Amino acid sequence: MSTKPIKELTNSETRLTSGHRLCAGCLESVIARQVLLSTEKPVAVASATGCFEVSTTIFPFTAWNVPWIHTAFGNGAATGAGVEAAYQALRRKGRIKEDMRFVAFGGDGATYDIGFQALSGMIERGHQLMYVCLNNEAYMNTGIQRSGATGFGASTTTSPAGSVVPGKTEYPKDLTMIIAAHDLPYAAQVSPHNWRDLIGKCEKGFECGGPAFINALSPCPRGWRFSSENGVAMAKLAVETCVWPLYEYENGKFFLTAESKRIADGVIEKKPVIEWFKAQGRYKHLLTETNAPLVAKIQAEIDRKWARLIALSKI
């Protein structure tokens, strides 16, 4: 958790400006601002194609106040790694003196699916690059198609809920755990509602001395079907229901953080997943009596993963 005073953070350099064209209520810019506040060192940014890229760089305009490079949907991590490798080479030759940091942003489609190979390779090669997944749980930029991050039962344009199937029929990949299996220096799940937890984890990611991975939940009003003013509340609810636990993997060990640690310790109550479903139109079909067994099945899977995470955090 970050210990920086909020006044110090608000007086920091503006690295991502206002004037971008993200949808009303989208939290991707909030997450990116928090990430960029977590280091005072010069930063170079790579962005994979997606909502965040197209909305912050509509030619001839840009919302970026730092060196920035656009890359294709599937190779955000590779491009960021190439920039970092070039920097390391130039620094060894004495042509660059500054101590810089590198971050790549990609959506869940560019991270869980299309760009996973590049991400895994970047980590295996040991680049000092922090990769941030802006996880809105679908391919929102191209029409709300299901992705590997989409929740079981969610209705999307390619997994529509109807009389035949009740939305997506597969559970989302547990990508943070998959990344942790690479045994990298640092990985974490974050939520923008808890800025101290998010910034603190990104401080660790930037300074871990190697590859780092941040999986950031980014509620999407358009794709999830909720009012645009409720994004922060939606992110908080995901944590409170343990749909999106807050934890970190640091030097081979798992640690629960923030609200998730308080839930595990019995300080605050874990909310049922039905509260998560009630808050979003993409799950409204699950609220019928017919689909009650499906809700119970999803709850059981959440409980199973939550119990596993608690056990891992005690090792």
Q: With beta carbons less than 8 A apart as the criterion, state whether 232 and 192 touch.
A: yes
Please tell me the pTM assigned to this model: 0.96
Q: Return the residue matching tokens 């990298």.
A: 184
Long-range contacts of residues 22-25, Cβ cutoff 8 Å, at least 24 apart:
22/51, 22/52, 22/55, 22/56, 23/55, 23/220, 23/221, 23/222, 23/228, 24/221, 24/228, 25/221, 25/227, 25/228, 25/229, 25/230, 25/231
* Domain ranges, ordered by start, for the chain: 6-313
Render each residue's pLDDT in the chain as its tens digit; 315 residues. 777 778 777 778 899 998 899 999 999 999 999 999 999 999 999 999 999 999 999 889 999 999 999 999 999 999 999 999 999 999 999 999 999 999 999 999 999 999 999 999 999 999 999 999 999 999 999 999 999 999 999 999 999 999 899 999 999 999 999 999 999 999 999 999 999 999 999 999 999 999 999 999 999 999 999 999 999 999 999 999 999 999 999 999 999 999 999 999 999 999 999 999 999 999 999 999 999 999 999 999 999 999 999 999 998
Q: Find the angle CA(224)-CA(226)-CA(231) to the nearest 5 degrees.
A: 90
- CATH architecture of the domain covering 6-313: 3-Layer(aba) Sandwich (3.40)
